[in-house]
Amino acid sequence: MEAFEILFTASLWAAAVRIASPLIFGTLGELICERAGVLNLGIEGIMTAGAFSGWLAVYLGGDLWLGVAVAALVGACLGLLHGFMVVPLGLSQHVTGIGITLLATALSYYFYRIAFPEVTSPPKIEPFAVFPVPGLADLPIIGPALFQQTPLTYLAFIAVALVAWFLYRTPAGLAVRTVGENPAAAEAQGINVVTVRILAVMAGSALMGIGGSFITLSAFNSFFFEMTNGRGWICIALVVFAAWQPGKALLGAILFGLFDAYQLRLQQLAGSVVPYQVFLMLPFVLSVVALIVMSRRVAYPRALMVPYRKGER
Amino acid sequence: MQHPVLEIDRITKRFGPLVANDAISLSLARGEILGLLGENGAGKTTLMNILFGHYVADEGEIRVDGKVLPPGEPRAALAAGIGMVHQHFTLADNLTVIDNIVLGTESLWRWKSNLSSARARIRQLAEDYGLAVAPDAQVSSLSVGERQRVEILKALYRNARILILDEPTAVLTPQESAALFETLKRFVAKGLSIIFISHKLGEIMDACSRVAILRGGKLVAERKVSDVTRAELAELMVGRPIPKPKAEPQSPGNMVLSLEKASARRGSQALHNISLEVLGGEVIGIAGVSGNGQSLLADCISGTWALSAGSLVVDGQTSRASPRAMVEQGVARIPEDRHTEGMIGDMSITENAVAERYRSSAFSSRGLVDWRKARVFAESIISKYDVKCPGPEARVRLLSGGNMQKLILGRVMAHDPKLILANQPTRGLDVGAVAYVHEQLLAARKRGAGILLISEDLDELLALSDKVAVMFKGELSAPMQRQTVTISSLGLLMAGQGFSHAA
């Protein structure tokens, strides 16, 4: 009975949204890349690089928002690298993406070691503080969940709306969707497929970088190894779960966050009876189930992972 | 003559050793429909792709209203008022009609698309030109004819004054084609100029005022349509007189295919209790409106789908559903869709030539493919069947439809097949290639092969077949001697009259 009551505690929902925040950024970023027809498996590494570079900028005395901007910039640069390899050169998107993940992760660790050769406990920064939204923060459950978060979480919500607006309401968004559906059609209408794809991958990767920076600038206050911990891979699955739609991406990320927050509490509750690994597994199992249920009849971008070569039939 | 709106001046384009366009010059006047006639591979599509900026010409230039068009820029061609309706539509299926039309017409830096004014404008254009289509429908939900209208609207929306239609009727029903011609007449009355690319003589005669004929990359003639006959055009296009196919009477041989009470089901397609016999030296034609089970029948005989009941005997042996076993039993398969089933576009001619038989001792020993033998085989097909290509290492994707079909013919005929399963063997081919395929099929008949010919072209069926049967909703009529049937009697059967499950 206690396990059920947890569902009505405000702290559970607040934790769910907190856990979801980096996933929202990452999923939106991946979604933009894939909408343009490019799978970006570099996401795991790009998030790590964003987490490290954003944190480092703040540690070296920068403002927290400067840290977020640096993370976005680092993400965009890695996106440019990925885009250059898979769009004009047409290399395998899988191999290149995994390469980017290995490279970005290794570079982050490397520079961390260079900057802090002899530390026993990770150096700390002053992270984003919770900013209660006046008037709304006191609502029951909804208040703590949605309006007692850090500014980066609010930015994640805003990003969902902006990305949705961009994709469905702007000419550039239409161009992105078309190069992911049928690049030949875009070309025939005078759109430069290569440029649009590369810019989309850069923008998406910048969002992934911001998602990574949430981990070090908002969720924690320091950088350590393995801290991205598969969040990037979760985002890849969430994009499918979301059927490539920003609104559903938000939903999916919060759902995953909820599972994760819930299992943490269940561990404390029943950890003595059931091995805690079972609960650790729970969000992933539920994600797989949700994925199967949600993505059965999904209209995926038709040109996803298909390199475009001009003038080819 | 008026000042031309479009001048193509000595355009030359080479792909490796192949000269696709050889110093072609053409001009187009305002309010004119110019037919561009030529066999597949004659260079029509290449020329139009250069015009539209998909390819860059090696030599020559293009002028619109006297101004030189910068090469290799679709955007410049669009801005100059050239609109192109590709043979394979360039529409994004998962997007709406309006998205497809508006794409690229607005600055990419605008923060909001103006869809409501776009919608109003599309409605207006649709009404002015008689191109009814729902702006908010998903393209994937539209019929082929409607998709073509969207393609034309795309061009009109950008104020195209020169419209290029590449094989526009290839995918249309006769009624849709007739409607299209009416629409085109409206366009020219409003001052547009049209280039109409086709290999179908009848259409050129119906729709165009002037016709330019390409052959082997060269412009061989320009004629007023009123001054030529179909036969003359055909000869100009192919370069020689076209013989009519003629099946000599001959006595049939042994049974090569026997289907008894065969049934099968795949999704919404089904076969019900089909019985059919094909003897050596005999052509059995299967008529029917497409989608009545012909593809499923062909797939069962190819071994790619299994019967749920009944038996299938090829050359005296009961067959199991295995494509490889079917090939080994002597079934020559000419599949319905060359591109998806017949050939692997990204592989070479050599690899495709041995794709059905690379395991046989002719092409491999001790588990290794003998590429030298394979290459010799590919070269023999290329020379014997006159496949126009840069060489045996060329990727099949680069071949025209007719040349691809010749390659398929060469592949299956080389092994002296007992049964030839020809499913829509001439679909999308030009006059010369059609005649060639017919000739080859009749030659195989003469050698004693049995041929099952599935076709939607009744003229073709009646010209080649000894007997004709009709498929309707998965049932097959009794085969009728060719002499006893007419186009109209077939038409009634195709509409379902005389079938037990007729709806």
pLDDT confidence of residue B171 = 67
User: Do B208 and B254 reside in the same domain of the chain?
Assistant: no
* Tens digit of each residue's pLDDT (9 = 90 or more) over B259-306: 999 999 988 789 999 999 999 999 999 998 777 888 899 999 999 899
User: What residues of A are in contact with residue B108 (Cβ under 8 Å)?
Assistant: 171-172, 175
Q: Is residue A131 part of a domain?
A: no
Q: Which residue of B has its CA nearest to A311?
A: B54
Mean pLDDT, each 10-residue run in order, chain A (313 residues): 78 94 97 97 97 96 96 98 96 96 96 88 91 89 90 97 96 95 89 95 98 96 91 92 93 92 83 77 80 74 86 53
Residue ranges in chain B modelled with pLDDT below 50? 502-503
Q: Which residues on chain B are in Cβ contact (under 8 Å) with A186?
A: 92, 103-104
Q: How far apart are CA B452 and CA B465, in angstroms?
A: 9
B210 and B107 in one domain? Answer: yes
Helices (H), B39-173: 44-51, 74-79, 97-102, 115-129, 144-157
Question: Is B310 found in the same domain as B358?
Answer: no
Residue A302 within any structural domain of the chain: no
How far B338 CA lies from chain A's nearest CA (Å)? 14
Q: Would A98 be classed as within a structural domain?
A: yes
CB-CB neighbors (< 8 A) of B399 in chain A: none
Q: Are residues B215 and B95 in the same domain?
A: yes
CATH number at residue A62: 1.10.3470.10
Residue A26 lies in a domain: yes
Q: Which residue of A has its CA nearest to B400?
A: A313
Query: What is the Cα–Cα distance from B6 to B27, expressed in whole angstroms?
Result: 6
Does some domain include residue A134? no
Last residue of a domain, one of B193, B213, B238: B238
What chain A residue is nearest to B90 in terms of C-alpha separation?
A185
- Same domain flag for B286 and B155: no
CATH number at residue B13: 3.40.50.300
Give the list of residues 6+ apart from residue A26 with CB closer than 8 angstroms, or none. Answer: A43, A47, A207, A208, A211, A212, A231, A232, A234, A235, A238
Query: Could you tell me if A108 and A228 are in contact, meaning their C-beta atoms sit under 8 angstroms apart?
Result: no
Based on the fold, state whether residues B473 and B447 are members of the same structural domain.
yes
CB contact under 8 A, B111 and A170: yes
Q: What is the DSSP letter of B201?
A: H
ipTM for the complex shown: 0.83
Q: How far apart are CA B22 and CA B44, in angstroms?
A: 11
Do residues A213 and A71 touch, judged by C-beta distance below 8 A? yes
B139 and B159, same domain (yes or no): yes
Q: Are the CB atoms for A53 and A171 separated by under 8 Å?
A: no
Q: Quick one: B199 and B300 in the same domain?
A: no
Per-residue pLDDT of B347-397, as tens digits, reads: 999 999 998 888 888 888 888 989 999 999 999 999 988 888 888 999 998
Domain boundary among B177, B207, B238: B238
Residue B227 and residue B102 in one domain: yes
Question: In terms of domains, do B406 and B422 share one?
Answer: no
Contact A171 B55 (CB under 8 A): no
- On whether both B399 and B346 belong to a single domain, the answer is yes
Residue A313 within a domain? no
The verdict on B74 and B196 lying in the same domain is: yes
Search chain B and give the residue with CA nearest A172: B108
Domain count, chain A: 1
pLDDT value at residue A313: 45
Q: Which of B414, B442, B459 is the last residue of a domain?
A: B414
Residue B179, burial from CB neighbour count under 10 angstroms (0-12, 13-18, 19+)? middle
CA of A300 to nearest chain B CA: how many angstroms apart?
A: 9
Domain count, chain B: 3
Domain residues for the domain of A12 are 2-117+149-294
Q: Is A91 inside any structural domain?
A: yes
- Substitution target in A166, A181, A193 with the highest count of B β-carbons within 10 Å is A181
DSSP-assigned letter for residue B26: E
Domain of residue B102, residue span: 4-238
Q: How far is A297 from chain B (nearest CA, A)?
A: 13
Whole-number pLDDT of residue A183 = 93
